[in-house]
Structure 1
Amino acid sequence: MKPSTHLVLLLANAASGMAVHDDCKLRFLELKAKRTHRFIVFKIEEKQKQVVVEKVGEPAQSYEDFTACLPDNECRYAVYDFDFVTAENCQKSRIFFIAWSPDTARVRSKMIYASTKERFKRELDGIQVELQATDPTEMGLDVIKSRAN
């Protein structure tokens, strides 16, 4: 086994032990059921070995406010409640799960976020659309709109 492959396996095994803080589920339920939040940004706290809530957006905040909360050089998970009007003029909303993994993030961080993603997503029941983004253009408002329908 090549040293790099061995490192990948070690990191993946270490990362899969991440717990999900109860606050993550609670805030997500508030977003889904009560619509008290527009978005939630989640962060992995490596020392605590858990996913925690980093930021919660107010219902009046815009998509631009949301994207401004994502760090340029660090990975995050995020949930965004997107409101839109269909071609038939119906008001709808979709809950997006966004895995933010910028190219400039540390390799270790990208691997930990990648290996924890599915387990974390399972804790958030009600996600309708998933998006993986490595730069802002991959999660622009145009992309969100096209994926919402």
Structure 2
Amino acid sequence: MSLKTKRTYKFLIFKVNDDGKEIVVDARGDRDGKWEQLTEQLPEHECRYAVWDHDFTNKEGRPMSKIFFILWVPDTAKVRSKMLYASSKDNFRTMLDGINYELQATDADEIDYEVIIDRCKEA
């Protein structure tokens, strides 16, 4: 809700806590946060969930915002972690309100900023 309605954050990154029983906030991006700040905070060998609030101007020149849910599952992550994040994704995502798009990425190329821009061209 802080991201969608209050627009307090540009992005949030979540992780499953050490005992595997709770999903907690791992990082927050201020409202003026950049895409690179989000991607730089995704660990190379660990899974994460992320939510990105993307502001853009549509074809008619109207300012818009779309919220992306990202499942970060790098190829180098442990199999147990991959399974945990994959199995809890749907339940966690349903608790988040206002998600417009979903991305799953296993390496940095799959979450390039151009992917975000291309998805918003439909709006």
Same fold (TM over 0.5): yes
Larger Rg: 1
TM-score range, shorter chain: over 0.9
Quote the sequence identity (%).
Answer: 50
1:95 and 2:67 aligned:
yes
| CA deviation map 1:94-143 (0-9, x unaligned) | 00000000001111100000000000001102111000001111111100
User: What do the CA deviations read for 1:38-93 (whole angstroms, capped 9, x no partner)?
Assistant: 00000001415110011111001111111111111100000000011112211111
Partner of 1:20: none
**1:132 correspondence with 2:104:** yes
Given the superposition, is the C-alpha separation of residues 48 and 143 from structure 1 closer, same or farther in structure 2, using an over 3 Å criterion? closer
Give unpaired runs (5+ residues) of structure 1: 1-28
- Summarize the alignment of residues 15-30 of structure 1 with structure 2, pairs less than 5 Å apart: 29-30=1-2
1:15 maps to what in 2? none
What RMSD over aligned residues (CA atoms) do the two structures have, in Å? Answer: 0.9
Matched, 1:45 2:17: yes
1:58 aligns with 2:38: no
Task: Specify which structure has the higher proportion of helix.
Answer: 1
State the TM-score, normalizing by the size of structure 1. Answer: 0.79
Size of the aligned set, in residue pairs, is 121
Q: TM-score, normalised by structure 2?
A: 0.95
